[in-house]
Structure 1
Amino acid sequence: MNISTSLNVFGTDYEQAIPVCKEAGFRALDFNYWDHQKDVLAKSWEEEEAWAHRIRAAADESGLPFTQMHGPVHGRSFREMVLGLNAESFLDMAKRSLRTASILGVPWVVLHASAISGNGESYGEVKEFNVKFFRQLFPVMEQTGVGIALENFYDRAARPHTARRTYCAMLDELVELIDTLDHPLVGACLDTGHAHEQGIHPNEIRKLGKRLKATHINDNDGLHDQHLLPYQGSIDWPAVMSALHDIQYEGDLTYETHQAIRFLPDALRLEGLKYAVAVGNYLIGLKGDPKGA
């Protein structure tokens, strides 16, 4: 298990971020396609392809592999999309993200399932819609060898009285969707912060089993999506690591902790990243001990 980080700790400047992450001690990287989504929409595929090759060259020069990528994000539902996207244009962007991931050497692209509109569709309708949508990606996945890791989300914290449900906020829903898609290139991404906001105990991580292919490791206070480093919020990290150990998770611990790092002054950023690596190595060292070291 390696300690990895999303490049979103630097915003969008990957040329600056990659060598600093290497110096800090990270052994792998996550590329946040989402951060570049607006710019990608303005690119032709040929321009995006050349851009991806430049990113790959920068990573290769530093000796850091990309082991996952946060793919494009459509918004809170498939009918309330960001940046003027619609179902057809978002599907095209998702396919392009898989091709870009292939150039970067990324094995898993993280995507979100969601409601159709959030206006009263039944659970069965939402599940069927998501199954049909993600199956449209199968041909590109099989062509590139890049899989999709569907991420758990949240709807409980900070909105306790809302009637709107967010599909796959519960791990049972995520498991059911993955099993219905029934494809070796479909897995799960565990976002520890989302699970904590949802009130999901770390013991429930075991439900994901071998489906778990990627992680978004971050902490919060249980109420807000704060994207902090472990031990800066209230997650039970020994319990998280015990669950990952029990399901024999083989991927990376990949930070999505930009709120703890991105806003540091440049003079402190390297030290902040070194501290993040030290925290990650400590987590790995827990080796399944539910009480911690």
Structure 2
Amino acid sequence: MPPLKIGACLTAGEIETHREWLFDAERDIELQDFGSYKALTAEFEDRISAARAALEGHTGRRGIHGPYEGLDMDNKDPELRPLITARYLKALEAADRIGARQMVLHSPYRRWYAMNRLAKPGYAENLLERVHAIMDPVVQAAEDKGITLVIENILDVDPSHRRAMVDSFGSKAIALSIDTGHAHLARRMSGAPPVDYFVRDAGNQLEHVHLQDLDGHADRHWAPGEGEIHWPEVFRALGECESEPHLVLELRNKADIPKGFAYLSELGLAC
């Protein structure tokens, strides 16, 4: 299996430190400047300008992480749903204006759903209806802009639930994202399958991956090699994907990006 090219998740202000590594090899970049309330309101134009300046000269693929704090894609309050839609649409505008063709959003599925979905009639259908109420305008806007929404596992136990949700839209503007750390944490906490199973379940719907390692106790976002994940099998599964997903290191300590890259590179997995 040939090594796979990987990039990183950074804010605009952090790009310069890793500029040569990112730009010379046209690596994937995921900007993480547009997730907060301030970023999408009072600071919006300043952040757009900062992102454009930081990305000048970059010819690789780009994405952003969309907003998520307090913005549940499955919200039972009909008065709050339009606010969530509006935040997602504003983040899509940011993505479009900085030349990003992906936006990461968080999955609404968790262990509670996995254990309760068959406990009463209509449970799964009602959740999906609420998701569509929020997401239908966002998916349409993404189609119009040529951007793909990628839905990241957070507390997902069964990856097929999120995949079925993506399928329900019948649109190429929504696909799957996997966070390797979240998948492994779900395995240790909730009996989810291993990370490579998440990848293989996604198949060619996989368009984006957060690469991070952990100890199985907390969402550490350590560099690969510092935790428990079996990286050779994860990359074997990634090598089977024909969709060529964005592969980005999402590390809490950005100074560890060279170390995480070196570890995967020395294993012959990344380039």
TMscore range, shorter length:
0.7 to 0.9
CA contact (8 A) 1:152 1:189 kept: yes
Identical residues among aligned pairs (%): 23
Kindly indicate whether residue 233 of structure 2 is the aligned counterpart of residue 245 of structure 1. Answer: no
Partner of 1:221: helix, strand, or coil?
coil
Normalized against structure 2, the TM-score is what? 0.80
Cα deviation for residue 220 of structure 1 reads: 0.9
Query: How far, CA to CA, are the matches of 1:51 and 1:286 in structure 2?
Result: 34
Cα deviation for residue 56 of structure 1 reads: 1.6
CA contact (8 A) 2:39 2:47 kept: no
Query: How far, CA to CA, are the matches of 1:103 and 1:280 in structure 2?
Result: 33
Residues 105, 76 of structure 1: alpha-carbon distance in 2 compared, 3 angstrom cutoff: closer
Kindly indicate whether residue 78 of structure 2 is the aligned counterpart of residue 71 of structure 1. Answer: no
Kindly indicate whether residue 214 of structure 2 is the aligned counterpart of residue 220 of structure 1. Answer: yes
Cα deviation for residue 24 of structure 1 reads: 4.5
Query: How far, CA to CA, are the matches of 1:60 and 1:6 in structure 2?
Result: 17
CA contact (8 A) 2:15 2:54 kept: yes
Cα deviation for residue 140 of structure 1 reads: 1.4
Kindly indicate whether residue 86 of structure 2 is the aligned counterpart of residue 87 of structure 1. Answer: no
Cα deviation for residue 212 of structure 1 reads: 0.4
Counterpart of 2:219, as a letter, is D
Counterpart of 2:211, as a letter, is I
Q: Which runs of 5+ in 2 are unaligned?
A: 118-122, 188-192
Normalized against structure 1, the TM-score is what? 0.75
Give the structure 2 partner of residue 278 of structure 1. Answer: 262
Partner of 1:234: helix, strand, or coil?
coil
Counterpart of 2:261, as a letter, is V
Query: How far, CA to CA, are the matches of 1:273 and 1:41 in structure 2?
Result: 27
Give the structure 2 partner of residue 181 of structure 1. Answer: 169
Give the structure 2 partner of residue 144 of structure 1. Answer: 145
Q: Which runs of 5+ in 1 are unaligned?
A: 9-13, 155-167, 263-268, 288-293
Residue 57 of structure 1 is aligned with which of 49, 53, 58?
53
CA contact (8 A) 1:101 1:109 kept: yes
Q: Deviations over 1:50-101 (max 9, x none)?
A: 631431232114x3645221100043845599xxx93222211100111110
Kindly indicate whether residue 143 of structure 2 is the aligned counterpart of residue 171 of structure 1. Answer: no
Q: Which runs of 4+ in 1 moved over 6 A?
A: 118-121
CA contact (8 A) 1:113 1:130 kept: no
Query: How far, CA to CA, are the matches of 2:48 and 2:5 in structure 1?
Result: 23
Partner of 1:235: helix, strand, or coil?
coil
Give the structure 1 partner of residue 20 of structure 2. Answer: 23
